[in-house]
């Protein structure tokens, strides 16, 4: 089935998310829609899938104009979508999830689960998925859950398949397997739209590439285009993609974490007695698929987790048991993984956000009075130093782009006298140009002799920034390895297989792995 989008325009108030976009996807083709977060890719696909109605333009399938009142109409027309965040019911079986929304019944109105099971078995056999139709979704690994999403789409006879950032929660090996599945679907005649911002994946699997920037199509490319050429199209200027850094010059100051354990409110162990050391002058990247305890580690370092045991010592000073304010005052800078929820106040100005946690004394407060002139001078200097693109320091931070918002967070956290810098997902939702800037600042902080801890689910970023990489799986440390460790090895570690183990061996729980690395 041939898909054509003509002049699709979608507005949200004054924001034009899609601006007269044209796109053609042919049967037997993987067409990659490449662009930064916020470029309008997912909005466009939500229009295609019937989740949004276009303000202007047409959707055509085999030259026939379509009108979708909702996803049900899109699915009935042969369009399937594999969402970045899985649309599955965890407590249902695979078969129950597959039939959900288009249930078939036997005599007496009884659900015909056997038909759904047969459909799962048939599609699984066809693509080598090895998915048990009676398995509970919540018991399945993330990579298998994604296959369930694909089975759902194929069970409804989808001829056009949309993969929306499908590798965000996958290990490198699972990503490679997904690429193979996409190629097989293409070879069987499916028209595939692959949405991503990862250049490596685009070049590996796409037949054609369309680049979107600020809601507009800005160019097309072949997969033979270089990363630099694709990045330039995405950003609108030349971008330095390589992180340049010298060998680390290790100092005596250090962060020492010993037997750190974090439990949730229900008693579940989220971080399982991990130990590691970060010396001044090095970057330790905590890698792994999202949701394996990395977030809880950073929050424990900052005093944001309540149920914490073990030791976190910074230059010999114990941080466990201290308040967040006390930890910040001890010289810890922190970039949270969700800047909008935990890093900024959207309705506050840039100037106000730059001093959020520094209004308890000089230089910004004297005798209980906020020193506006001092604050504003500080803000103007930081805006210039960190290249925040804005009309002025009185601009509300919620009006800035994602990259500029992140620069405000970095400017605040790196403008204090640091003894430790912790950055969780520092480039999430940030354009390529801002990524370049953020990476340079992280390396500069490391070169000043500060211990740096970075959490990243982007393996390319982890390898580029790290002096050492600590991989976590289900709250445990699988191992701590040099940054030049092969990607295949890192991928196996992200699946819980320690470097010294053979394939299929589970990760151990050696709390001293960090010291041994």
497-514, pLDDT tens digit by residue? Answer: 988 754 444 444 444 444
pLDDT digits (tens, 9 = 90+) for 179-217: 998 999 999 999 999 998 788 889 999 999 999 988 999
Q: Quick one: pLDDT at residue 324?
A: 93
Q: Quick one: pLDDT at residue 19?
A: 96
Tell me, what DSSP letter sits at residue 429?
Answer: T
As to burial, measured by CB atoms within 10 angstroms (0-12 exposed, 13-18 middle, 19+ buried), residue 501 is middle
> Phi, psi (5° rounding) for residue 97?
-65, -40
Token representation of residue 417: 């006298």
Q: Quick one: pLDDT at residue 361?
A: 82
Cα 297 to Cα 288: distance, rounded to the nearest angstrom: 13
Cα 92 to Cα 120: distance, rounded to the nearest angstrom: 14
Token representation of residue 30: 């993987």
Token representation of residue 111: 């659900």
Cα 490 to Cα 473: distance, rounded to the nearest angstrom: 12
Enumerate the β-bridge partners of residue 286. 455, 470
- Of 245, 273, 239, 269, nearest to 257 by C-alpha is 273
Q: Give one DSSP letter per residue of 76-140, joined into a string.
A: HTTEEEE-SS----TTSBHHHHHHTTS--B-TTS-B-HHHHHHHHHHHHHHHT----TTSBGGGS
Helix, strand or coil, per DSSP, at residue 517:
coil
Q: How distant, in Å, are the alpha carbons of 152, 239, 241 from that of 231?
A: 34, 7, 8
CB 52 within 8 A of CB 43: yes
List, for the chain, all residue ranges whose pLDDT scores fall below the cut of 70. 37, 107-109, 429, 431, 501-517
Cα 141 to Cα 155: distance, rounded to the nearest angstrom: 21
Question: In the chain, what is the greatest distance between 2 CA atoms, to the nearest angstrom?
Answer: 80
Q: How distant, in Å, are the alpha carbons of 464, 476, 516 from that of 513?
A: 22, 10, 5
Q: Quick one: pLDDT at residue 107?
A: 66
Q: Give one DSSP letter per residue of 448-475, joined into a string.
A: TT--EEEE-S-HHHHHHH-SEEEEEETT
């Amino acid at each position: 089935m041939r898909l054509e989008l003509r002049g699709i325009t979608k507005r949200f108030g004054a924001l034009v998310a899609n601006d007269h976009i044209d796109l053609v996807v042919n049967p037997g083709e993987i067409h990659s829609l490449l662009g930064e977060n916020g470029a309008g890719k997912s909005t466009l696909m939500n229009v295609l899938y019937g989740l949004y109605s276009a303000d202007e333009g047409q959707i055509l399938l085999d030259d026939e104009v379509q009108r979708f009142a909702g996803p049900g109409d899109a699915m009935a027309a042969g369009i399937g979508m594999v969402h970045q965040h899985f649309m599955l019911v965890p407590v249902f079986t695979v078969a129950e999830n597959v039939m959900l929304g288009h249930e078939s019944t036997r005599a007496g109105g009884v659900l015909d689960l056997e038909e759904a099971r047969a459909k799962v078995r048939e599609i699984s056999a066809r693509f080598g998925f090895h998915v048990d139709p009676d398995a509970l979704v919540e018991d399945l690994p993330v990579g298998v859950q994604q296959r369930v999403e694909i089975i759902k789409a194929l069970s409804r006879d989808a001829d056009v398949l949309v993969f929306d950032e499908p590798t965000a929660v996958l290990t490198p090996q699972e990503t490679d397997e997904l690429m193979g599945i996409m190629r097989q679907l293409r070879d069987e005649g499916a028209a595939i739209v692959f949405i991503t911002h990862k250049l490596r994946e685009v070049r590996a699997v796409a037949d054609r590439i369309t680049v979107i920037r600020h809601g507009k199509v800005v160019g097309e490319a072949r997969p033979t285009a270089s990363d630099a050429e694709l990045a330039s199209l995405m950003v609108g200027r030349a971008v330095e993609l390589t992180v340049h850094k010298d060998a680390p010059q290790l100092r005596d100051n250090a962060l020492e974490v010993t037997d750190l354990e974090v439990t949730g409110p229900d008693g579940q162990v989220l971080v399982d007695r991990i130990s590691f050391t970060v010396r001044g002058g090095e970057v330790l990247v905590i890698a792994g698929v999202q949701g394996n305890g990395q977030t809880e580690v950073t929050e424990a370092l900052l005093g944001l987790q309540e149920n914490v045991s073990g030791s976190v010592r910074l230059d010999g000073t114990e941080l466990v048991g201290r308040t967040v304010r006390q930890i910040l005052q001890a010289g810890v800078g922190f970039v949270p993984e969700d800047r909008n929820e935990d890093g900024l106040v959207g309705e506050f100005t840039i100037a106000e956000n730059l001093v959020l946690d520094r209004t308890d004394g000089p230089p910004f407060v004297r005798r209980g009075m906020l020193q506006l002139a001092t604050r504003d001078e500080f803000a103007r200097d930081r805006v210039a130093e960190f290249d925040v693109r804005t009309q002025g320091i009185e601009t509300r931070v919620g009006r800035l782009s994602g990259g500029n918002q992140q620069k405000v967070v970095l400017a605040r956290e790196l403008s204090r006298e640091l003894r430790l810098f912790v950055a969780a997902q520092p480039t999430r939702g940030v354009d390529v140009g801002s990524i370049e800037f953020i990476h340079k600042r992280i390396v500069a902080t490391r070169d000043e002799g500060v211990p740096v801890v970075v959490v990243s689910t982007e393996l390319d970023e982890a390898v580029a920034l790290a002096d050492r990489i600590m991989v976590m799986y289900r709250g445990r440390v699988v191992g701590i390895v040099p940054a030049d460790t092969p990607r295949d090895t890192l991928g196996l570690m992200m699946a819980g297989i320690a470097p010294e183990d053979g394939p299929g061996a589970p990760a151990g729980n050696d709390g001293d792995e960090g010291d041994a690395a």
